[in-house]
C-alpha cells in the first residue's frame, strides 16, 4: 500500500518535489506539480499522528528557489501537535560532502526555527514518542549498520523498528554502503523495517523481520502504477472504448501494431500520449533488438518487465562504467 499508516505513524513515500516529465507541455507539467503539492498539503492539514517522509524530498540535488520557498511556507504552517520527520534520500545527497544541496538549505532554515515538531534528518534519530523506532536516512559516508549501532548505543532500549531510505536489493556490489542490513538487524532483534527509495509499494519477510516499502508519494512512471491511477497502458481497442474522463489528466501509453484506427479525440485531455509497438502477443515478453544503444535496449526491456527506475538506472550506470574501464 502506498503511503501506509503503520503502528500509529503516517509514512509518506518519496515526494520528489520538482519532478519534471519529458514530452509534456508546461501547463500540464504545472498541473501535475500542483497534485504533488496538494497531496503533501493534505497529509499535513489532516495530520492526527506523527508523519515520516521516507526520503527523496526533492527530485534533484538542487531545485529552484521557488520550490524551496514553497516547501518552507508549507512546513511553517504545520500544526505542531505531532512530529514531522523528513529523511534525507539519495536524490537529496551527494558523495561530495563539500557540496550544499537544496535539502541542506531547507534544513538550515527549519533548524533555525527551533520548532519541537519538525526534524530534517541527515543523521539517525529515534522517534520522540517511541524510542524503539529508529529513523535512518541515506548516507554517503556511513553504512546503515554503522548508523544503527552508533545511535542505538545512546538509547535506553534497542530499536525494534527501522525506518530508512536504503537499497533492498543487491546489485552485485558486496561492499554496498546503502543496503538494508537484514542479517545484522535480525541479530539485534529488529522485527520491522519500513523503507522508502523504491517507488512501487511492497511487503514481505526476511526471517523474523517484516519489511514494508512505502512506494513513492505518487507514482511517476507506468511501471510504478499498476493500478493505473495516473499512468494507464491501453490497447487501441481499449482506448477507443474508454470514456474521455477516464483518459483526462493521465499519462497514457497505447500499445498495438496499428494505430491508424485510434480515436485521437479521446486523448485530447491526456497529460501525455506515448505509443508502444507490439507486433506479436505471447505468454513471454518479446524483445525486439534493433540498431540502438545498449542503454536504450535496457530501458525498453526494463519497461516491459516493470523494473523500478532506480534499478534500471543502476544497471545502465554500472554497464557504462565497465565500458569506460575496458
Instruction: State phi, psi for 100 to the nearest 5 degrees.
Output: -110, 125
Fold of domain 5-213: Purple Acid Phosphatase; chain A, domain 2 (3.60.21)
Give the pLDDT of residue 279. Answer: 73
Q: Confirm if 23 and 65 have CB atoms less than 8 A apart.
A: no
* Start-end of H helices in 167-266: 182-187, 236-241, 244-247
Q: Which residues pair with 85 in a beta bridge?
A: 52, 119
Q: Give backbone dihedrals phi and psi of 250, rounded to 5 degrees, phi first.
A: -130, 155
| pLDDT over 70 (residue 282) | no
Average pLDDT estimate for 72-93: 96
pLDDT > 80? residue 33: yes
Q: In DSSP terms, which residues pair with 275 in a beta bridge? A: 254
Confidence of residue 148 (pLDDT cuts 50, 70, 90): very high
Average pLDDT over residues 49-65: 98
Any idea which of 43-57, 121-135, 181-195, 301-315 has the lowest mean pLDDT?
Answer: 301-315
CA triple 47-50-53, angle to 5 deg: 90
Selected residue with higher pLDDT from 119 and 289? 119
Please name which of 184, 188, 181 lies closest in space to residue 166, comparing C-alpha atoms.
181
Low-confidence winner among 119-133, 146-160, 212-226, 269-283 (lowest mean pLDDT): 269-283
Q: Which one is predicted more confidently, 173 or 219?
A: 219
Mean pLDDT, the chain, whole residue set: 89
Q: Which three cell numbers, joined as nine digits, stand for 130? A: 517511541
pLDDT of residue 27: 93
* Residue 156: per-residue pLDDT: 86
Say if residues 231 and 272 touch (Cβ distance below 8 Å): no
* Alpha-carbon separation of residue 183 from 136, 142, 179, 186, 190 (angstroms): 17, 18, 11, 5, 10
113-117, 220-224, 302-306: least confidently modelled range: 302-306
Amino acid at each position: 500500500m502506498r503511503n501506509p499508516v503503520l503502528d500509529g505513524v503516517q509514512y509518506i513515500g518519496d515526494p520528489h518535489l520538482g519532478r519534471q516529465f519529458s514530452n509534456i507541455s508546461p501547463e500540464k507539467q504545472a498541473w501535475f506539480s500542483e497534485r504533488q503539492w496538494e497531496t503533501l498539503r493534505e497529509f499535513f492539514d489532516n495530520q492526527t499522528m506523527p508523519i515520516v517522509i521516507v526520503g527523496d524530498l526533492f527530485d534533484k540535488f538542487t531545485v529552484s528557489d521557488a520550490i524551496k520557498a514553497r516547501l518552507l511556507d508549507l512546513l511553517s504552517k504545520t500544526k505542531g501537535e505531532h512530529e514531522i520527520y523528513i529523511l534525507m534520500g539519495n536524490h537529496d545527497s551527494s558523495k561530495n560532502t563539500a557540496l550544499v544541496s537544496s535539502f541542506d538549505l531547507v534544513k538550515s532554515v527549519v533548524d533555525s526555527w527551533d520548532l519541537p515538531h519538525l526534524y530534517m534528518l541527515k543523521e539517525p534519530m529515534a522517534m520522540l514518542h517511541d524510542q524503539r523506532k529508529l529513523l535512518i536516512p541515506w548516507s554517503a559516508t556511513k553504512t546503515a549498520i554503522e548508523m544503527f549501532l552508533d545511535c542505538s548505543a545512546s538509547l535506553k532500549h534497542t530499536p525494534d523498528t527501522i525506518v530508512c531510505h536504503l537499497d533492498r536489493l543487491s546489485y552485485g556490489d558486496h561492499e554496498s554502503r546503502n543496503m538494508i542490513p537484514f542479517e545484522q538487524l535480525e541479530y539485534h532483534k529488529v522485527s520491522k523495517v519500513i523503507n522508502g527509495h523504491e517507488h512501487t509499494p511492497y511487503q514481505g519477510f526476511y526471517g523474523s523481520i517484516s519489511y514494508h516499502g512505502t512506494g513513492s508519494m505518487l507514482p511517476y512512471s507506468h511501471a510504478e502504477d499498476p493500478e493505473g491511477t495516473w499512468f494507464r497502458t491501453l490497447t487501441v481497442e481499449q482506448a477507443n472504448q474508454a470514456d474521455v474522463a477516464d483518459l483526462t489528466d493521465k499519462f497514457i501509453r497505447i500499445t498495438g501494431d496499428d494505430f491508424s484506427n485510434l480515436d485521437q479525440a479521446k486523448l485530447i485531455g491526456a497529460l501525455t500520449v506515448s505509443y508502444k509497438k507490439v507486433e506479436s502477443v505471447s505468454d513471454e515478453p518479446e524483445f525486439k533488438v534493433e540498431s540502438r544503444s545498449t542503454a536504450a535496449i535496457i530501458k525498453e526491456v526494463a519497461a516491459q518487465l516493470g523494473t523500478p527506475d532506480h534499478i534500471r538506472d543502476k544497471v545502465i550506470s554500472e554497464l557504462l562504467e565497465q565500458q569506460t574501464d575496458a
